[in-house]
Amino acid sequence: MMEGSIEEERKHDYLREEVRSNENDRMQLKRTIGYFNGVNFIIGTIVGAGIFVSPTGVLKYSLLNVGVALSIWTACGVISLMGALCYAELGTALPLSGGEYSHIKRALGSLPAFIFIWTAMFTKPASNATRALLFAEYATQPFYGVCPAPELLKKCLALAVIWSLGILNGRSVKMATWVQTVFTVLKMMALSVIGIGGIVLLIRGRKENLVRFENAFSSEIPDASQIAEAFFQGLYAYGGWWSLNYMAEEMINPSRNIPSTVMTALPAVTLFYLLVNISYLTVLTPKEIVSSVAVAVTWADRVIPSVAWVIPLSVAASIFGALNSSMFTLGRLSYAGSQSGHLPVLISMLNVHYWTPAPAMIFSTIIASIFIIPADLITLTNYFGFSVWLMIGLTCASLIVLRYREPNLQRPYKVFLPVAFAMVAVSLFLVLAPIVWSPKMQYMYALLFMLGGLLVYLPFVHFKLHFDFVDKITCYLQLLLEVSPADVFADGKYE
């Protein structure tokens, strides 16, 4: 027993010395993410497989009306930019890890923030698991030709990818941003090939290429419900514009770089989405696009048949980049939740060697891995789509609340306030529309799950129920993982 105590004390002394190694620094996340990295993270998160594989939803619900479809793609880009500008104000005023969670907690209180993180700990890891499985499918299918790849192989590869990225993000922020930059550049190169190819064909002026754009609005006009559904599809393709606020605590000069990053990334994505859709419509008819399983592959077979194999590789690279950025942001959400006492305290600790939230990355990676093994769990998350826009609405409402409740809060960037009100209205519509138009019991189950967070919140957060054995487990894991609580230093002294 005595030897064990001595060994444990030595371990603690070692950790103290590691932390003391630079007394001018505090034990906290480091600001290493600049403007260029921020742009790559936003673009990398937004652009996944959808624009390559199935950008058909908008066209389908626009009743194959080319003009309406392109207008909706543009409008969705504008709405996403409006939301991102609202988030930019919050991110510059409160540059904290955790994104929406931190802003909701500041403005609306602990309970709404806990409901957010309770729901996000179910939906976001499931989304990462879906991306990992989709990457595994595109990476393995070329080796099996027309036969489907074995499910076990895809799941094993998906787990390998999830853990590789989890370890990478847990060890080095610089390496994670480098990987993000590389894969964002690759996917944008692929989109550029498609977009420029379409422009070249359009400039050549073949009649069959121009006819769809000369009478763009001549087809049947969709009704209000169909237009709303097309907006759902378009806004889903822009999903991820909110990711920058999760890394606000690690951004260099956030008051300048957050607005600049947003104003660069969102217009760029909108422009690329429009160019790619125009390119698809230049080569393929609207009916061919809607019926195609993978639109980009069909496009490549028509335009660049000799190197059409590049497109599936581009899709895999695009998914990999989106998964990396999503893993990064989920780790920061877990870290912020733990700092606020909504998740176990170990999750908010930082590795003493790399100064990264390694426990938070391990925690979020384990949850994502659980979703990969039984695929049925992922299908359940399809009914939580409304929760994304519910939280966006609450975040924009938080901006409005803080404007009036904390008028003296320093705001390096201010969005035009009616933009925030408009985003709240859009979010409310997108929450209620699917429930009203196509009510399903699964939506009620999803809502009950969200409210079920109260069963955890009341005893463990509100009444602070605590078990002594948890402290022993935390101490053991702290030593094992070589992590220390954030902000260990106070005026340069170890506390």
DSSP code, position 150: P
CA distances (Å), origin 442, targets 122, 381, 424, 434 = 15, 10, 24, 12
Which pair of structure tokens corresponds to residue 142?
A: 């070329």
Which among 224, 203, 230, 231 has a CA at the least distance from the CA of 80? 231
Pairing label, strands 483-485, 349-351: antiparallel
Long-range contacts of 260-265 (CB under 8 A, 24+ apart): 260/35, 261/35, 261/38, 261/39, 261/42, 262/42, 262/81, 262/84, 262/85, 262/87, 262/88, 263/81, 263/85, 264/35, 264/39, 265/38, 265/39, 265/42, 265/43, 265/46, 265/84, 265/241
The three-state secondary structure class of 262 is helix
Q: Domain coordinates of the chain in residue numbers?
A: 1-490
Phi first, then psi, for residue 493 (nearest 5°) are -115, 145
Identify which of 341, 319, 275, 443 has the alpha carbon closest to the alpha carbon of residue 110. Answer: 341
Cβ–Cβ < 8 Å for 414, 80: no
Q: Which two tokens stand for residue 220?
A: 């049947």
| Both structure tokens of 389 | 């826009």
Tokens of 141: 């299918």
pTM, whole model, 2 decimals?
0.88
Q: Calculate the CA dihedral of residues 434, 69, 284, 241 and round it to 10 degrees.
A: -70
With H, G, I as helix, E, B as strand and everything else as coil, classify residue 489: strand
Angle CA 123–28–246, to nearest 5: 30
* Angle of the 66-93 helix axis to the 224-237 helix axis, nearest 10: 50
Nearest-5° angle of CA 92, CA 93, CA 99?
Answer: 70
User: How does pLDDT run along the chain (495 residues), one tens digit per residue?
Assistant: 445 455 555 555 444 444 444 444 566 788 889 999 999 999 999 998 888 876 888 888 888 888 999 999 999 999 999 999 999 999 999 998 888 999 999 999 999 999 999 999 988 998 899 899 989 988 888 788 778 889 899 999 999 999 999 999 998 889 999 999 999 999 999 999 999 988 888 887 666 667 677 777 777 888 888 888 888 888 988 989 999 899 999 999 999 999 999 999 999 999 999 999 999 988 888 888 888 878 888 888 888 888 888 888 888 899 999 999 999 999 999 999 999 999 999 999 998 888 889 999 999 999 999 988 876 665 666 667 778 899 999 999 999 999 999 999 999 999 999 999 999 999 999 888 878 887 778 788 888 889 999 999 999 999 999 888 999 999 999 999 889 888 643 333 333
CB 332 within 8 A of CB 98: yes
Cα 282 to chain centroid, rounded: 31
CATH of domain 1-490: 1.20.1740.10
